[in-house]
Amino acid sequence: MEDLESVPPAAAAGRSRRGFFQAGILGLGAAIAAALGLPALAYLLIPPKSEPRDSWIEVGELNKFAAGAPLEVAFRRNRTDAWKVVSEKDTAWVVKHADGGVTAFGPQCTHLGCAYHWDDGRQQFLCPCHSSLFRMDGSVISGPAPRPLDRYETKVENGRLMVGRLRTSSQRQA
Amino acid sequence: MKRQAENLVAWLELRTGLPGAIAHFLDEKIPASGGWHQVFGSVALFLFLTQAFSGILLAFNYAPTPGEAYNSLRYILTEVTGGRLIRGLHHWGASMMIVVVVLHGVQVFVFGAYKKPRETTWILGVALLLLTLTYGLTGYLLPWDNRAYWGTVVATKIAASAPLAGPYMTRLLGAAKGVGVVTFARFYAVHVLLLPPATMLLILAHVYLVRRHGVTPQPGDEALPKKPFYPAQVFKDTAAIFIAFAVLFTLAVAAKVPLEQLADPTDTTYIPRPEWYFLFLFQTLKFFEGPLEIVGSTILPGLAVLALFAVPFIDRGQMVKVTRRTVAIVFVALAGIGWSGLTAAAVMSTPREAVAQVDYSAPTDWIQLSPEEMAGIAYFREENCAGCHSTGSSLGPDLTRAAVHKDAAWMIRHFKQPGAVRPGSAMPPVALGDAQLNSLAAFLLKLTPENASALAEAPDFAVRGAVVYQSGHCAACHMVNGVGMKVGPALNGLARRQTRSWVDDHFANPQKLSPGSIMPPYRLSGEDQKNLTAYLFSLPE
């Protein structure tokens, strides 16, 4: 304040004008930057609205599966990829349990995504890439696979098996 | 803190010289007469940068091939958060850029600021104006809806009519066999690959020349001390930029930019209209017919552009005060009147949209509903149910969740006597007939929290058309979206099979147009018939 008193009034007025201009430039600039930047962040970071509709695909009559004999089934499903709907071929390993319950595993090894198969002799799922072995319930016996086999959501309608989304074991628990 | 900032500036100065360069730029001395009339150049530069920003954001979600382009833009508009705003900024920003660039040119013209030694600055400015127009022309095609397609058909045909250069222009535009995938690729490449770097180079050269020659002084400035560019003039520029931005943002938020249906090259009924800033050219074209058409389409506009470039060489007099430049002011006034007159004439001659169009920039979930459910939306709106039952209102329960725990029978009893089913309810009875109440219940059963906002977009013509459909008992013979009988033909895909006028005539006298048809004649009011036909034409294939 003492500084201000020592300068002539005209210079002080000039200084406050200068301060007003500088504050105005910064303030208006910041307002524009925020009005452009925040919507841009929302545009880039908020996931699009397209809700993943639970689409159930029929994979076959339940009685074509035999208990204790895993069977690989192929089916087509529509996947929505942003503005595109892609029809994709997909497969599942279906295991029927003794009590009549059914589990459908995703067809890829949980290690690096190779296609595994059912070894009838050993009664295990075997991945040819790095020799991961899984039990009939999907759990890991040996090998580098980090988690049990992924499972499809399943339901039975009028004796037909339907599969839904593929879930990892951690997603199932969540 | 202040000391650290000073150290940083010193560090940068030694290594890059940037702080000194900025200080030099801001310390430019401008004539005493400088002020608010000189803000337009800065505003144009700002708008260019905003266009680049919104354009890059759009490109992050846009697939530049026909068909895909339309679907990805629709995705941006209906599914991406803020997508509608970003597209609005880009669309309205284009228009505002034209306005501001022209205002900048008018200011320079009126003040005579193009005179020696600033002729080249003016020429670069005219080139930048042409680039701005080219952005508008090429960007117009990129949504690939009917408007884009048919507008570009006209533009390429005008280019084709140019004397001598016509056939080459058509090939250059990739439109030798009509507007197609090659045209699209060329327009896109010009819009995003060719124009932006060209614009940046020209802006750089333009600003360099402005600095080299300094801001144009007015007669009388010599006697007065010069003033610094910063902060007073920078503040004026910033304030003008802020006003322009506020207008742009308001337009982007409030003024909906529609998206028409996917481009249909077989839709011969479509009446194309160019963007508003090209309407005057479109109107000029109407004065020339037959072999003279090229006069309006290419020769006159070409001469006008040449004259614009030549302005500094035509007017070579001494610099005078702006108030004494009567010829220039009269010229601008006449050009303004001419432009407004031509534009107004073009707007007046545009036929009012005779048929209702579906706006595809909004979600169109409603087109999957049955006519009964659609009619329910009409009653929902007529009875103003949302007045009490909207989300956030405490008067009535949120109806988007009603279907979870109530069935149609309960709803209809409740509509008739609200208090009897739910004692103490303050809801007045819904005074509608049984069929209407059925419709209302059918709609409410389809309503979920997820689709509520999408279904609110159902256009009025479609829900009113569905009411006509219901009251005419059309479903007794026809099927729509899988609901109804198969006595007559299914009505999905009608738009592909017949024209609107055929359908309109068919209502009055079915046997005349389809001999042997057992459909009874319908005498509908003009409004009802229009809504019903428009609704049927909006149905999915």
DSSP B345-406: HHHHHSPP--S----TTS--GGGGS-HHHHHHHHHHHHTTTHHHHSTT-SSS--GGGHHHH-
Residue of A nearest to B233 (CA): A21
Q: Tens-of-pLDDT digits for all 541 residues of chain B?
A: 789 999 999 999 999 999 999 999 999 999 998 899 999 999 999 999 999 999 999 999 999 999 899 999 999 999 999 999 999 999 999 999 999 999 999 999 999 999 999 999 999 999 999 999 999 999 999 999 999 999 999 899 888 888 888 899 999 999 988 999 999 999 999 999 999 999 999 999 999 999 999 999 988 888 899 999 999 999 999 999 999 999 999 999 999 898 998 898 887 778 888 889 999 988 998 898 888 888 888 899 999 999 999 999 999 988 888 888 999 999 999 999 999 999 999 999 887 766 677 888 888 889 889 999 999 999 999 888 888 887 666 677 878 877 677 888 888 888 888 888 888 888 888 888 888 999 999 998 888 887 888 888 899 999 999 999 999 999 999 999 989 998 889 999 888 888 888 888 899 889 888 888 889 988 888 889 889 998 998 888 7
A50 band by pLDDT with thresholds 50, 70 and 90: low
Q: Across the interface, which of B68, B82, B245 has its CB nearest the CB of A42?
A: B82
What's residue B296's pLDDT? 87
Which one is predicted more confidently, B248 or A64?
A: B248
| A85 and chain B in contact, CB less than 8 A | no
pLDDT score for A60: 86
A49 interfacial to chain B (CB closer than 8 Å):
yes
CA distance B534 to B461: 7
Nearest to A61 by CA among A153, A145, A159: A159
Q: Count Cβ–Cβ pairs < 8 Å, chain A vs chain B.
A: 72
pLDDT interval class at A1 (50, 70, 90): very low
Residue in this structure with the two tokens 């709803």, named with its chain if needed = B411
- The domains located in chain B, with CATH, are 1-27 (no CATH), 31-263+270-278 (1.20.810.10), 365-537 (1.10.760)
Nearest CB neighbour to A48, from listed B79, B231, B450: B79
Of A20-34, A100-114, B446-460, least confident by mean pLDDT is B446-460
**pTM summary value:** 0.84
CB contacts, 8 Å: A42 with chain B = 81-82
- C-alpha A87/C-alpha A89 separation (Å) is 7
In the predicted structure, residue A105 carries a pLDDT above the cut 90: yes
Separation between Cα atoms, residue B67 and residue B47, nearest integer Å: 29
Average pLDDT over residues A115-137: 92
Q: So what's the pLDDT on residue A4? A: 47
pLDDT of A3 over the 70 cut: no
Q: What angle do helix axes B434-446 and B371-382 make, rounded to 10 degrees?
A: 100
Cα separations in angstroms, B233 against B26, B214, B245: 10, 14, 18
Task: Tell me how far the alpha carbon of residue B463 is from its chain's centroid.
Answer: 26
DSSP string, chain A: -HHHHHS-HHHHHHHHHHHHHHHHHHHHHHHHHHHHHHHHHHHHHSPPS-------EEEEEGGGSBBTB-EEEEEEEEEEETTEEEEEEEEEEEEE-TTS-EEEE-SB-TTT-PBPEEETTTTEEE-TTT--EE-TTS-EEESS--SPPPEEEEEEETTEEEEEEEE-HHHHH-
Average pLDDT over residues A86-100: 88
Task: Tokens 């589990």: give the residue.
Answer: A103
Of residues B60, B80, B242, nearest to A48 (C-beta):
B80
Provide ipTM, 2 decimals.
Answer: 0.85
Q: How far is CA B302 from CA B158, B167, B342, in A?
A: 12, 17, 18
Query: Is B61 within 8 Å of B260 (Cβ atoms)?
Result: no
- Whether A2 has a pLDDT exceeding 50, the answer reads no
Give A37→chain B minimum CA distance, Å.
Answer: 10
Chain A residues whose CB is inside 8 A of the B242 CB are: 28, 31-32
Q: 3-state class of B243 per DSSP?
A: helix
Q: What is the pLDDT of residue A165?
A: 85
A21 chain-B contacts, CB cut-off 8 A: 231-232, 234-235
Helix then strand then coil, in percent of chain B rounded to 5, is 65, 0, 30
- Written as one string, the DSSP assignment of B453-495 is HHHTT--HHHHHHHHHHHHTTGGGT-EETTEE-SSS---TTHH
Write the burial class of residue B323 (CB in 10 Å: 0-12 exposed, 13-18 middle, 19+ buried).
Answer: exposed
Report the gap between the CA of A9 and the closest CA in chain B (Å): 19
| Residues of A with Cβ-Cβ distance to B53 under 8 angstroms | 36, 40
Q: Which of B57, B63, B231 sits opposite A21 (nearest CB)?
A: B231
Pairing of strands A151-157, A160-167: antiparallel
